[in-house]
Amino acid sequence: MLSHFKLCLNFVPLTELTSQKKFDEIKKANQAAARKLVEDQFSSSSEEEDEDIKGKHGKILAKTFTTYTNQTDGDASELERTRQYMNDAFQSGAMTCLICIASIKRNQAVWSCSGCFCIFHMPCIQKWAKDSLFLISSPLTDDDFGKRDYPWPCPKCRFEYKRSETPTRYYCYCRKVEDPPLDPWLVPHSCGQVCERDFKPPCGHRCLLLCHPGPCPPCPKMVTITCYCKKAKPVPRRCSTKEWSCQLPCGRKLPCGQHNCEKPCHPGECQPCPRVSKQACICGRQVAERLCASPVWQCDQVCGKTLPCGYHACEQICHAGSCGECPRSGKRSCPCGKSKFSLPCTEDVPTCGDSCDKALDCGIHRCSQRCHRGPCEICRQEVEKQCRCGKHTKQMPCHKPYLCETKCAKIRDCQKHQCKRKCCSGNCPPCDQACGRTLGCRNHKCPSVCHRGSCYPCPETVDVKCNCGKTALKVPCGRERTTKAPKCKEPCRLPPTCHHPAREKHSCHFGPCPPCRQPCKKTFEKCGHSCPAPCHDEALVKQTGSHQPAGPWEQSAEPTFIQTALPCPPCQVPIPTPLACHAVGPYSCKRLCGRLLDCQNHTCTKECHKVTDTDSNNDAGQECSQCEEECSKPRPPGCPHSCPLPCHSGDCPPCAQMIRMKCHCKLTSLYIECIKITCADLKEKDELISCKNQCPKELSCGHRCKEICHPSDCPQNCNQKVKVRCPCKRLKKELPCSKVRGDLVTLECDTVCKEMKRKASEAELEAFENRLKGRRKNKRKKDEVEVELSAWQKYKNMIVLPVCGAAVVMFAWFIAYND
């Protein structure tokens, strides 16, 4: 008992631990589901614009503008531009990334341009900046790369940013909070704190709105300031409009020094004096009326005063001061400048007779004429000139340029078109052709000059209008196909299609108007009462009649409904009618009829009514309702089709629908009646699904199956005839493949084969002996080969014998002579 109690004490903490673990898991799962629900509900800026959401958006905007309108008495009209940006943040399809032409969702990282305040996806703007920097720096050489911080432009306003300003992190609009959390009660991508950005132009104050998209509104602070001319007393004014004019005359001294400024109080410096006065020119010969602001002027007459030499006159145009010395006095040089002469001013300087030697216009050669007056002639020396592209040379005068007819084949900076300029020096000009590529909007083409990289986004905007056209929403070009039309508050102006003079009041919409629900109010001809039923001029009625498919390609159609005008129901207004006792007859008890209809499946649903032409009290008559239900009887096992007849009595007709099925070999599509396939047994189904062609499968022996299209695996008893030979290859015989592969039949050699084999062995032995004999003869021949003799060995006998004979004769003659 004690041990059991200890076991229970040990089990209790374990149970509590398990329960706490399960509770934590359920808590985490609920938190994750709630977080996902919030992200799904507020993940896109294209939410439904119903009244609740509009009220919520209004509260968010009011909360954002509270500090501006209440605490500083700011004018709400100055917030219109900022309000438009904030409305676009909530408006369906208004926040669009111009780079990818896609909607900007609340839970996506974005970047806002400080010039045009346009919002882009963070990955899109990073890729744009990277591509722009690459295209600018790619033409540079390795020596120039990195020496200059090339900027990248905003895709919309072309505002340039430095390389170091490339966005790398996601911030809110005021750039205080990194990765601002998703809050459905704040402006998308806002941190909810006070903006505190400096106003533009800077005035020393900061924005008081909550973190918001778009530009900051004008500064609402009150300052005390005087007018431009400083004559009026200082007055309190808005900081954004603090500069003002008192409209009194300025009165400041003009630059002419004679008159005062008569214009009303104005900013900046005073304009030049507008008055006109008579003023003499510099030389004093002419007097003219001119502006007081420009008293110094020149006439067009030559001075003409006699110079100090007494022979020449001054040739300068109207000037001030003395005319100076005679330009022909003192030492003067000859035309070529090599010799100097001291002559009276009345005599001309003669030529020195030396060569001119001045540099000609070509910059290479010098003038070869003698010292002369006037300009030198053009260079006429024959030189070998190279064309501008450096591919050709030619003998021609030096002063003439040489351009060949070869067209440049280099690719221009657009990397698409060739230069094709004649005799190009290699420094090809920029491409002057139009880009013409289709922009991301798919509506316009790029109007810029041919360029590398991505084209700038389409600058056009499109109005997405409601059905009546009075409410419009401006969206970037290309978004009009996917942007939902704005919800219009104007009433629908479509004319009614029923007998009523006007439709029920409802807002502008697309598509057909909702059905009319006004009371019919048509007058009954017999009783004069009005019909109280809802309007039934366009009631949807199920189309009667069955349509039999024409073939297996035609699918069974769904039941169709047509709009038609129904007659008014009978008048239900009770009226007192005096009747005699003998005239009292059957009357309606107001309950359902309940008579069995002709389909034998359903009962009449009309109110208790008079029935004629019936055999019994339970049979329906002509006055009872007609059954419009579909046949609900169970289908045969395996039949997926519904009965083509409406609700009926008795058995359903056989299903004549065609079913498309693959045969056993999976090569042929067969169309089989549903009734045949459902009523057949296994053997009959195999026959129906067979295409009656030879089975295309290959047996293990390599031959094709000879059976007709069949289910399951192919039988391995291949009866294909194959040729079998005896071991000596003389005899051959055709046998079934299955017997040959099973080694059930073999072909042995007969007596003829054995005799031929014996003869072949003997012939081979004889041939071997002959070859062996031939080898012995050849060896003997090799042993008996004679050694070739030299010339001395061949002719020594012919030489030695005559010499020896002559020596013997001489010796004999010598002995005889001495004796």
pLDDT tens-digit series, residues 319-340: 888 888 888 887 888 888 888 8
- Burial of 270 from C-beta contacts in 10 A (0-12 / 13-18 / 19+): middle
What is the tens place of the pLDDT at every residue in 760-795?
888 888 888 888 776 655 555 544 444 455 666 666
Which of 230, 195, 6, 233 minimizes the C-alpha distance to 85? Answer: 195
Q: Check residue 556 and give its pLDDT.
A: 58
Distances 631 to 65, 414, 540 between C-alpha atoms, Å: 65, 72, 21
What is the tens place of the pLDDT at every residue in 113-145?
988 888 899 989 998 888 888 777 665 544 444
- In angstroms, the CA 698 to CA 718 distance is 11
Two structure tokens written together for 493: 């102006």
Q: Check residue 55 and give its pLDDT.
A: 55
Q: Is the pLDDT higher at 581 or at 158?
A: 158
Q: Is the pLDDT of residue 432 over 60?
A: yes
Residue 502 placed within a domain: no
Q: Is the pLDDT of residue 515 over 50?
A: yes
Tokens 């430095």, residue? Answer: 162
Q: Is the pLDDT higher at 787 or at 265?
A: 265
Complete DSSP assignment for 478-544: T-TTTSPPPPP-SBP-PPPSSSSSSPPP-B--SSSPPPP-SB--PBPTTT-PBP-SBP-TTEEEEPP
Residue where a domain terminates, one of 663, 684, 716: 716
791-811 per-residue burial string, b: 16 or more CB within 10 A, e: under 16: eeeeeeeeeeeeeeeeeeeee
For the chain, give the mean pLDDT. Answer: 79
Residue where a domain terminates, one of 680, 700, 716: 716
Lowest-pLDDT choice from 94-98, 158-162, 364-368, 406-410: 94-98
Residue 393 placed within a domain: no
Which of 317, 297, 315, 298 minimizes the C-alpha distance to 306? Answer: 315
Strands (E), 146-259: 152-153, 160-161, 222-225, 235-238
Residue 89 placed within a domain: yes
Q: Check residue 9 and give its pLDDT.
A: 37
Q: Cα dihedral sign for 345, 347, 348, 351?
A: negative
What is the tens place of the pLDDT at every residue in 794-807?
666 777 777 788 88
Q: Is the pLDDT of residue 67 over 80?
A: no
What are the backbone dihedrals phi and psi of residue 756, each rounded to the nearest 5 degrees, phi first?
-65, -35
Q: Is the pLDDT of residue 307 over 80?
A: yes
> What torsion do the CA atoms of 494, 500, 506, 509 make, to the nearest 10 degrees?
-30
Q: SS3 for 630? A: strand
Q: Is the pLDDT higher at 219 or at 16?
A: 219
The H or E element spanning position 333 is strand 331-333
Residue 381 placed within a domain: no
Q: Do 498 and 516 contact (CB within 8 A), yes or no?
A: yes
Q: How many CB atoms lie within 10 A of CB 766?
A: 10
Which of 643, 636, 604 minimizes the C-alpha distance to 620? Answer: 604
Q: Is the pLDDT of residue 147 over 60?
A: no
What are the backbone dihedrals phi and psi of residue 434, each rounded to the nearest 5 degrees, phi first?
-75, 145
Q: Do 162 and 153 contact (CB within 8 A), yes or no?
A: no
Q: Is the pLDDT of residue 43 over 50?
A: no
Q: How many CB atoms lie within 10 A of CB 386?
A: 13
Q: Say which amino acid occupies 716.
A: Q
Q: Check residue 46 and give its pLDDT.
A: 36
Residue 508 placed within a domain: no
- In angstroms, the CA 328 to CA 316 distance is 15
Q: Is the pLDDT of residue 557 over 70?
A: no
Q: Is the pLDDT of residue 64 over 80?
A: no
Residue 571 placed within a domain: no
- In angstroms, the CA 27 to CA 20 distance is 10
Two structure tokens written together for 310: 């007494």
Two structure tokens written together for 565: 């005008």
- In angstroms, the CA 622 to CA 604 distance is 11
Give the count of domains, the chain: 2
- In angstroms, the CA 355 to CA 38 distance is 98
478 contact partners, CB below 8 Å, separation of at least 6: 101, 439, 440, 441, 442, 443, 458, 462
Domain carrying residue 41? 14-225
Q: Is the pLDDT of residue 19 over 70?
A: no
Q: SS3 for 258? A: coil
Q: How many residues does the chain have?
A: 819
Residue where a domain terminates, one of 716, 732, 755: 716
Q: Check residue 794 and give its pLDDT.
A: 65
Residue 389 placed within a domain: no
Which of 243, 196, 240 minimizes the C-alpha distance to 219? Answer: 240
Q: Is the pLDDT of residue 39 over 60?
A: no
**Cis? peptide before 344, omega within 30° of 0:** no
DSSP state of 734: E
Lowest-pLDDT choice from 67-71, 285-289, 383-387: 67-71
CA 690 from centroid of its chain's CA atoms: 51
Q: How confident is the model at residue 552 (pLDDT cuts 50, 70, 90)?
A: low
Q: Is the pLDDT of residue 640 over 70?
A: yes
129 contact partners, CB below 8 Å, separation of at least 6: 152, 161, 166, 167
Q: SS3 for 784? A: coil
For the chain, the straight-line distance linking the first and the last C-alpha, in angstroms and rounded, comes to 176
Q: How confident is the model at residue 170 (pLDDT cuts 50, 70, 90)?
A: very high
Q: How confident is the model at residue 171 (pLDDT cuts 50, 70, 90)?
A: very high
Beta-bridge partner residues of 332 = 341
- In angstroms, the CA 107 to CA 180 distance is 10
Q: Check residue 44 and give its pLDDT.
A: 37
Residue 189 placed within a domain: yes
Q: Is 590 left (phi over 0), alpha (psi -120 to 50) or beta?
A: left
